[in-house]
Structure 1
Amino acid sequence: MSEPVLLLEAAGPESQALVRTAAASSHRVHAVTDAATFTSYPDELHQLLAGCLVTDFTRPAQAVADITGYGRRIGARALLTVNEYLTEVAARSCAALGLPGNDPERAAAARNKALMATAFEAGHVTMPSTTVVTDLRELRDLHEAGAVGFPCVVKPADGAGSAGVTVVAAPAELEPAWHAARAAPPMYGMPRDDRVLVQEHVPGREFSVESVTQHGVTTHLCITRKYTTNGIHRVELGHALPARLPAAAERALLDQAGRAIAAVGVRNGATHTELLLGPDDRCTVLEIGARLGAGHIGVLIQHALGIDPWRTLWDMALGRPVTITPAPGGGYATVRFLTTHQEGQLVAVTGLPTVTRSIPAVRVRAAAGSYVGPATSNRGRLGHVIVTGHDPRIVDEQADQILRRITVTVAPGSRT
């Protein structure tokens, strides 16, 4: 049946996959965005949309009122977002429209890291020791009092995609890290929380848990292994799923993910919980997003598990009962991102593999001639390659070989 549905932001690969899936089911998809982003929508996206509401996300309360009014006019039967910055707006809009969504009064805790730390503490979620700092003088006072240990992690309260996150190894790096956290701008020019988090640096391997929750009942789809850079910036260089772990480690990760989901009031929708697993199988939750994991994790889920996450999300948003059954056969998939250590003008990316059944996606998103440099956040990645198969060892080796064959040529220079 053709039904009108709302998608808060249609830009981005995950959002466009949701648009295509809904349109293929004959749903009338209406996007919600701001004026600047609307002008960047490609023609093929416009052709899939039944309508578009342009609102002002710098005034979230007014945006919710606009979305609610528009949703009532079109008779919206579902509302979704996979945009990190719009999850609280989505929760409040769902509540106003009487649609399946998350707890509107706790939704900010899945978006704002300072509120998240408070929610995690109340929900008995194991997390890094965290101090929320309001200004630079307070940070200096904490350091002088011996309350800041090294290494530590400094991050903005309302950032995303690793933007403004610094691993600080020595006192001299503390103030630059503070300024980096404060310089990370929120998307859409939304009101920002100027507070900064100082967290203990927890050693361990990084994973994420991909989950869906319907009517408060959570199903964990898989555990994702994460590849990240070292040094002061921790950019995600790849994901692989499902991670194969000892039973005790898996139980620890899933238990803490479930606690985090409950702590931030997720009742209907996807979650992406980022965690560290220590050498003693101690599990620490870094943060949670009330959305599907970005970085093409949804595509990996499709290839490895045979689950269509886009259809699953729409079914839940429409209030339909969802039964999730991975396909037999034990598939595996990984995405690896292209980066460069050089700073300057991108000349070319060569040595890319041909798209095949086992290499279903190859993309360079940075245009020749654009300025590139060492990635300090996930936005600094230049493209990606996805590799699939059944044997994790073979798939990972193939992905490593592909990356070794790719050459990113950069003409030296600085941003002008």
Structure 2
Amino acid sequence: MSLPVLLLEAAGPESEQLARTAAASGHRVHAVTDAATLTTYSGELRRLLAGCLVTDFTQPGQALADITGYGRRIGVQALLTVNEYLTDLAARACAALGLPGNDPERAPAARNKAVMAAAFEAGHVTAPRTTIVSDLGELRALDAAGAVAFPCVVKPADGAGSAGVTVVTGHEGLEPAWHAARAARTIYGMPRDECTLVQEHVCGREFSVESITQHGVTTHLCITRKHTTGGIHRVELGHALPARLPAVAERALLDQADRAIAAVGVRNGATHTELVLGPDGRCTVLEIGARLGAGHIGVLIQHALGIDPWRTLWDIALGHPATLAPASGGYATVRFLTTPHPGRLVSVTGLPEVTATIPAVRVRAVEGADVGPVTSNRGRLGHVIVTGHDPRTVDTQADRILRQITITVAPRSQS
């Protein structure tokens, strides 16, 4: 049956996949975006859409009224987003339209890190000790009073994709980190939250838990192992799933993910919970998103587990039973291409051919573009996905592919 469905933002890899999946099922896909982003929609994406609402996301009250009014006019049967910045708005729109969604009162906790820290404390989630500062003077006063322990992490309250996040090892790094957090961009020109977080730095291995919740019942699809940079900026260089862990470690990660999901009021949809597993087995939740994990995690789930996450999300949004049993026992990893230093991209050579075990190879940066430094996930130049059944074999192949790729970058001063 062809049904009208609404997608809050159709731009971006995961969003476009949602649009393609709904259209392939015969549904009439409508998108909500702003005027500037609409101009970036490709011809292929525009052809998928039955309609498009242009609104102003900087005015959340008016955007909600626009979305609910448009939804009622088209008789919308499902509303979804995988856009980090729109999950709060999606929850409120679903509630207004009587569609399956998340708790609109608690939804801000999955978007704003300051609200999230309070929700985690109330929900007995093990999380980093967090201090919220409103301005640089307050941060200086805390430091002068000896109230800042090093190393610590400074991050914006409303950031995403590791933008503006700095690991600070001493007093001299605090002010630059604060300025970096304040300089982190939001999208759509949304107003900034002036708060900045100073958090305990938690050491250990980084993971994420990919989960689906329907009618308040959560199914954990897998645990993802994360590859990140060291240094003051922790950029994700790769993901691999499903991670194979001892039972006690797996239980610790899933227990904390359950607590985090409940704390931010997720009732219907995907969650991506980021955690650190310490050397002592202590599991700490860094943050949670009320959305499918970005960075091609959905593609990895499809290849490794045989679960179509985009179809699953539409089923939940439509109120249909979701099928979540893994259909295969595979393994998949994505590795991101990054520049060795900032400058002008000259070339990317040594890329592998697409094969059955290398289903995706993409360079998204064009030659001649300014690239780097890699201080957030936005600085990644492209990616390679490798799949198979044996984790060691897949990871070894991915490592070998990265060694064979040469990224040539010239100083920006060269013509």
TM-score of the alignment, normalized to the shorter chain, above 0.5: yes
Task: Tell me the SS of whatever aligns to 2:85.
Answer: helix
**Is the 8 Å Cα contact of residues 371 and 415 (structure 1) preserved in structure 2?**
no
- Measured after TM superposition, the shift of residue 28 of structure 1 is 0.2
Q: Read off the aligned partner of 2:52 and give its amino acid letter.
A: C
Q: TM-score, length-normalised on structure 1? A: 0.99
- Measured after TM superposition, the shift of residue 415 of structure 1 is 11
Moved more, 400-409 or 186-195: 186-195
- Alpha-carbon distance between aligned partners in 2 of 1:154 and 1:232, rounded to the nearest angstrom: 10
**Is the 8 Å Cα contact of residues 132 and 196 (structure 1) preserved in structure 2?**
yes
Other-structure match for 1:66: 66
Other-structure match for 1:321: 321
Q: Read off the aligned partner of 2:204 and give its amino acid letter.
A: G
Residue deviations 1:138-185, cap 9 Å, x none? 111111111101110000000000000000011000000000001112
Matches within 5 A, 1:4-403: 4-328=4-328, 330-403=329-402
Q: Read off the aligned partner of 1:372 and give its amino acid letter.
A: V
**Is the 8 Å Cα contact of residues 340 and 407 (structure 2) preserved in structure 1?**
no
Residue deviations 1:318-355, cap 9 Å, x none? 00111311014x20000000001222111110000000
**Is the 8 Å Cα contact of residues 346 and 368 (structure 2) preserved in structure 1?**
yes
- Alpha-carbon distance between aligned partners in 1 of 2:166 and 2:413, rounded to the nearest angstrom: 22
* Structure 1 residue ranges, 4+ long, deviating more than 6 angstroms after superposition: none
Task: Tell me the SS of whatever aligns to 1:187.
Answer: coil
Q: Read off the aligned partner of 1:284 and give its amino acid letter.
A: T
Q: Read off the aligned partner of 2:243 and give its amino acid letter.
A: A
Residue deviations 1:259-289, cap 9 Å, x none? 0000000000000000000011110000000
**Is the 8 Å Cα contact of residues 126 and 256 (structure 2) preserved in structure 1?**
yes
- Measured after TM superposition, the shift of residue 213 of structure 1 is 0.4
Q: Read off the aligned partner of 2:110 and give its amino acid letter.
A: A
- Measured after TM superposition, the shift of residue 394 of structure 1 is 0.3
Q: Read off the aligned partner of 2:244 and give its amino acid letter.
A: R
- Alpha-carbon distance between aligned partners in 2 of 1:27 and 1:274, rounded to the nearest angstrom: 33
- Alpha-carbon distance between aligned partners in 2 of 1:391 and 1:414, rounded to the nearest angstrom: 46
Residue deviations 1:292-332, cap 9 Å, x none? 0000000000000000000000000000111311014x200
- Alpha-carbon distance between aligned partners in 2 of 1:58 and 1:341, rounded to the nearest angstrom: 36
Q: Read off the aligned partner of 1:337 and give its amino acid letter.
A: F
- Alpha-carbon distance between aligned partners in 1 of 2:16 and 2:326, rounded to the nearest angstrom: 23
Q: Read off the aligned partner of 1:271 and give its amino acid letter.
A: T
**Is the 8 Å Cα contact of residues 343 and 414 (structure 1) preserved in structure 2?**
no
Q: Which runs of 5+ in 2 are unaligned?
A: none
Task: Tell me the SS of whatever aligns to 1:188.
Answer: coil
Q: Read off the aligned partner of 1:405 and give its amino acid letter.
A: Q
- Alpha-carbon distance between aligned partners in 2 of 1:344 and 1:174, rounded to the nearest angstrom: 27
Q: Read off the aligned partner of 2:81 and give its amino acid letter.
A: T
- Alpha-carbon distance between aligned partners in 2 of 1:323 and 1:306, rounded to the nearest angstrom: 11
Task: Tell me the SS of whatever aligns to 1:148.
Answer: coil
Residue deviations 1:190-229, cap 9 Å, x none? 1210100000101000000000100100000000000000
Q: Read off the aligned partner of 1:180 and give its amino acid letter.
A: A
**Is the 8 Å Cα contact of residues 229 and 236 (structure 1) preserved in structure 2?**
yes
Q: 1:323 to 1:344 in 2, by over 3 A?
A: same
- Alpha-carbon distance between aligned partners in 1 of 2:342 and 2:154, rounded to the nearest angstrom: 25
Moved more, 22-31 or 182-191: 182-191
- Alpha-carbon distance between aligned partners in 2 of 1:185 and 1:344, rounded to the nearest angstrom: 21
Q: 1:414 to 1:84 in 2, by over 3 A?
A: farther
Other-structure match for 1:408: 407
The sequence identity of aligned pairs, in percent, is 81
- Alpha-carbon distance between aligned partners in 1 of 2:103 and 2:289, rounded to the nearest angstrom: 14
Q: Which runs of 5+ in 1 are unaligned?
A: none
- Alpha-carbon distance between aligned partners in 2 of 1:387 and 1:252, rounded to the nearest angstrom: 28
- Measured after TM superposition, the shift of residue 414 of structure 1 is 5.8
- Alpha-carbon distance between aligned partners in 2 of 1:414 and 1:130, rounded to the nearest angstrom: 42
- Alpha-carbon distance between aligned partners in 1 of 2:288 and 2:356, rounded to the nearest angstrom: 33
Aligned residues: 415
Q: Read off the aligned partner of 1:147 and give its amino acid letter.
A: A
What root-mean-square deviation, in Å, do the aligned CA atoms of Structure 1 and Structure 2 show? 1.0
- Measured after TM superposition, the shift of residue 374 of structure 1 is 2.2
**Is the 8 Å Cα contact of residues 123 and 262 (structure 1) preserved in structure 2?**
yes
**Is the 8 Å Cα contact of residues 155 and 164 (structure 2) preserved in structure 1?**
yes
Q: 1:303 to 1:148 in 2, by over 3 A?
A: same
- Alpha-carbon distance between aligned partners in 2 of 1:166 and 1:111, rounded to the nearest angstrom: 19
**Is the 8 Å Cα contact of residues 344 and 415 (structure 1) preserved in structure 2?**
no
- Alpha-carbon distance between aligned partners in 2 of 1:171 and 1:309, rounded to the nearest angstrom: 44
